[in-house]
Amino acid sequence: MLVEGAILDRDGPRRAAVRIRQGRVVETGLPGVVRRRGGERRLRGIVIPAPVNAHTHLGDSVSTREPPIGPVESLVASPNGYKFRLLADRSRAEKVRAIRHAMRRMRREGTIAVIDFREEGAPGEKLLRDAARGSGVRTLILGRPLLRPIDPTELSSVLSVGDGIGLSSARDESPETRRVVARACRRAGKWFALHASEAVRELPDSYLDPRPDLLVHLAKATPDDLRAVAARKVSVVVCPRSNALFGRQPDLAGMERAGIRMMLGTDNAMFHAPSVWRELEFAYVATRLRGRPVSTEFLARSALVEPYRWLGTPDGASISAGSPAVPLVLRLPADDPAYQVVTRTTEHLIVRPGRVD
């Protein structure tokens, strides 16, 4: 397959022709210089690395009705909020089926990996592992121990199934719990993550010490808070649609200015479909609505580049010959790739080069 148009990857946007064979990039160059070979399929479009959805709660995709309208705390509070009652009410089979459905959608939309905060302790993590098997979407599970004070046996079992721990938030957990969990994650070589400054502002000291590998939201963070996070080089996942449902908005322009390593997530599956493309378009529109525009390149990086760096596989975000990237082709005009990708991508415009190309 030969794609003529543009590349948008970790090195930014540029005009290019890209030859893809067996799902991998084998040659790049200027359009017109890389020539079509006989019998080769030819497309016009933009070649990108497959996106990563950096924050989900796929378990609650078992919810199929509009959730009650109310403060986010009352909906997602553990153990008696709407979400946890729903999870407790539904059978394992129902949850697995709902997650598989969500995974199929992500796969169709080209999503290559997802970072999920999984509730329900080690059994919840096992459920997600089973649901994700064979989905084609790499699933990183940040589980959550249920017992407080932390029970070392439960914590090590949660860590043994998952890829790390994703806590509710600094203000929901004691400093001792955060310390114990962070230490156990380090020892196990796994990730330590938590939600922060979602509904109310929390002090950076509370969520930066112990230093997490990942923070989610920061919708209420001040410019000083953002600078503190950037200085510690802690990556941040923003979920603009989820925040907007509750009248909040992360300051994406402030994050860009502070030099934050930002990623994008779709958050609770009971609120939104796990579509990175919808999240990208909403993020763009919302920042304009607020009068705090953010660059489309920064937004595109949040889904296509930063996650690879966070995962320790930065070459996955490089569209170049021999790179390990899994390329997607978007059938979109090539003049302004980041703008096109952020505002216009839909499932129907995505070509996933396969083994036969």
The distance of closest approach from Cβ of residue 302 to Zn ion in the complex, given in angstroms and rounded to an integer, is 16
The distance of closest approach from Cβ of residue 89 to Zn ion in the complex, given in angstroms and rounded to an integer, is 20
Query: What type of residue is 73?
Result: E
Query: What type of residue is 87?
Result: L
117 exposure class (CB count in 10 Å sphere: 0-12, 13-18, 19+): buried
Cβ count within 10 A of residue 255:
23
Q: Report the candidate in 76, 66, 67, 173 with the shortest Cα–Cα distance to residue 117.
A: 76
Residue 240 in tokens: 């603009």
Binding site for Zn ion (CB under 5 A): 267
How many CA atoms are closer than 13 Å to the CA of 20, on its beta-carbon side? Answer: 32
| Phi, psi (degrees; rounded to nearest 5) at 287 | -70, -30
Residue 343 in tokens: 């505002």
Q: Report the candidate in 3, 7, 1 with the shortest Cα–Cα distance to residue 341.
A: 7
The distance of closest approach from Cβ of residue 48 to Zn ion in the complex, given in angstroms and rounded to an integer, is 25
Tell me which residue has its CB nearest to Zn ion. 267
The distance of closest approach from Cβ of residue 275 to Zn ion in the complex, given in angstroms and rounded to an integer, is 16
The distance of closest approach from Cβ of residue 85 to Zn ion in the complex, given in angstroms and rounded to an integer, is 18
Residue 281 in contact with residue 272, Cβ under 8 Å?
no
The distance of closest approach from Cβ of residue 267 to Zn ion in the complex, given in angstroms and rounded to an integer, is 5
Residue 171 in contact with residue 196, Cβ under 8 Å?
no
In this structure, the strands spanning 191-196 and 164-169 are parallel
Using the structure block, give the residue that is written with the tokens 């990175």: 276
Taking the least distance from each CB to Zn ion, the nearer of 164 and 337 is 164
The distance of closest approach from Cβ of residue 62 to Zn ion in the complex, given in angstroms and rounded to an integer, is 16
Taking the least distance from each CB to Zn ion, the nearer of 201 and 344 is 201
Using the structure block, give the residue that is written with the tokens 């070649």: 47
The distance of closest approach from Cβ of residue 242 to Zn ion in the complex, given in angstroms and rounded to an integer, is 7
In this structure, the strands spanning 267-268 and 24-29 are unpaired
Contacts of 269 (CB under 8 A, 6+ apart): 56, 57, 58, 59, 60, 61, 63, 98, 102
C-alpha 229/C-alpha 215 separation (Å) is 9
Taking the least distance from each CB to Zn ion, the nearer of 267 and 297 is 267
The distance of closest approach from Cβ of residue 165 to Zn ion in the complex, given in angstroms and rounded to an integer, is 13
Going by the DSSP 8-state scheme, the letter that residue 315 receives in this structure is: G
- The β-bridge partners of 203 are none
The distance of closest approach from Cβ of residue 118 to Zn ion in the complex, given in angstroms and rounded to an integer, is 11
Cβ count within 10 A of residue 84:
17
Taking the least distance from each CB to Zn ion, the nearer of 137 and 329 is 137
Contacts of 271 (CB under 8 A, 6+ apart): 67, 241, 242, 245
